[in-house]
Amino acid sequence: MTEPTPHADPYALFAAWMAEAEAAEPNDPNAMCLATSTPDGFPSARMVLLKGVDARGFVFFTNHNSRKGGQLFANPRAALNFHWKTLRRVVRVEGDVEEVSAAESDEYYASRPRLSRLGAWASLQSSSLGSRAELEAALAEAEARFPGPDVPRPPHWGGFRVVPRRIEFWRDMPFRLHDRRVFHAQPDGSWTSETLYP
């Protein structure tokens, strides 16, 4: 299994760990806990799915009018936590948040199943819902509005990118003497790293 070393590229290391997780984890190896904060600093966390990662950062998509969307626009900083129980590994990411380009959002949105695309129009995500029937009626309305295969991306739906300042790789070790290596982003685009006590 791939081990973190002082001179590793954290993105290459993450890609290797993700590939191993995809082979070992039975469900959603790309699931991650996204932590944001309310405008008054209260923490807020939920599970989302990683949909892309490269040297620019970690990408996920959501309704911009959702609770997490509002929090990210108010305070564009976030933390991510990947937990691969089968491999006994964790990756923690902390960084700044930016919107992805409209082209990136369009590309991913077009790849989603039709009902998922319609659901993005029907759901007033994080708003109070009177009944399931209300949601189903909104979905039926969206189906009638967009009867063909093309369902345009709603203006309130798109992607965010977490641009890391810090990435930590954690491995479970016997007797809780765990292995922790943390990488720190530098202004010139390079990374430094250090080992932490467990």
Tens-digit pLDDT profile for residues 96-149: 999 999 999 999 999 999 999 999 999 999 999 999 999 999 999 999 999 999
Both tokens of 135, joined, read: 């949601």
Q: Which of 97, 116, 98, 126 is nearest to 154 (CA)?
A: 116
Task: Count other Cβ atoms within 10 Å, centred on residue 7.
Answer: 6
The maximal CA–CA distance of the chain, rounded, in angstroms, is 59
Residue 39 pLDDT: 87
Distance CA 55, CA 195 (A): 22
Q: Average per-residue pLDDT in the chain? A: 95
Work out the burial of residue 62: count CB atoms within 10 Å of its CB; fewer than 13 is exposed, 13-18 middle, 19 or more buried: buried
Q: What is the pLDDT of residue 198?
A: 96
- What region does 28 belong to: left with phi over 0, alpha with psi -120 to 50, or beta? left
pLDDT of residue 75: 95
DSSP 150: -
pLDDT of residue 61 exceeding 90: yes
pLDDT exceeds 80 at position 4 = no
Q: What is the C-alpha separation between 77 and 161, in angstroms, rounded?
A: 10
pTM recorded for the entire structure = 0.93
Range in 5-14, 146-155, 156-165, 183-192 with the lowest mean pLDDT: 5-14
pLDDT band at 94 (very low <50, low <70, confident <90, very high): very high
Q: Which of 166, 169, 198, 26 is nearest to 89 (CA)?
A: 169
Per-residue pLDDT, 192 = 96
Positions marked catalytic: 176
6: left (phi over 0), alpha (psi -120 to 50) or beta: alpha
Mean pLDDT along residues 188-193: 95
Q: What is the pLDDT of residue 2?
A: 64
